[in-house]
Amino acid sequence: MSRLETMAERIKKDLPEFVELIPPTEVSEGLYRRIRHIQITGECCGFEMSMEQLKEIVSLAANESVQKPIHFLCRILDRLHIERTLKTATNRLNIDERIKNIGHYIVFESVWQVKYLSDLITGKYSMDDLMVATEIAMKKQQPVRYLLKMFRNGFDQSKLYCYNKQ
């Protein structure tokens, strides 16, 4: 068994999606070494990197908009770009738990919608506000777009109820 195949087997234990995305070839050997180094030491170019962050970075490369995942990974794991890459991975991992809770009510079409909604509601709205807005959006034809627009325009639950003064 060659050295590259051994590296691929060891990487496959933690990151099977990486090995599927980029098969072990002589061209990808340097990237395999980098990934294996991160896997063993938990750091990349002097910055600490957790396995969750590494998985998130690999999922970024697996996106259909990335034409050449090997080139993309080599670029974002480069010493000049690693700090920004780690910030992006951390932000994607820290998406608000409340949005994960409504995930079974509304199916988001893409990752940017989840991130955008997280940015809109962070520190401004309660779980109750989010659930009321979700119930309203579910009655519409395009619930995700309606939900995003409600929070972008400033959702106020108190304006939903009309009181008749007599």
Token look-up 């990335």 returns 66
Give yes or no: residues 148 and 101 share one domain.
yes
In the predicted model, what is the mean pLDDT of the chain?
A: 85
Answer with the one of 42, 59, 93 that is the final residue of a domain: 93
Residue of 141, 128, 63 lying closest to 101 (CA atoms): 128
**Cα–Cα distance for residue pair 77/57, rounded to 1 Å:** 9
Of 60, 93, 126, the residue at which a domain comes to its end is 93
Claim to verify: residue 118 and residue 146 sit in the same structural domain: yes
State the average pLDDT over residues 40-64.
90
Instruction: Identify the domain containing residue 102 by its residue range.
Output: 97-159
Q: How distant is the alpha carbon of residue 120 from its chain centre? A: 16
Query: Both 34 and 74 in a single domain?
Result: yes
What's the CA gap between 163 and 79, in Å, rounded? 60
- State whether 89 and 106 are in the same domain: no
Q: Could you tell me which residue, 116 or 161, shows the higher pLDDT? A: 116
Asked if residue 75 and residue 29 are part of one domain, the reply reads: yes
**From 92-96, 144-148, 161-165, the region with the lowest mean pLDDT:** 161-165
115 pLDDT band, cuts 50/70/90, is confident
Q: How many structural domains does the chain have? A: 2
Looking only at the bridges linking them, the beta strands covering 47-48 and 43-44 are antiparallel
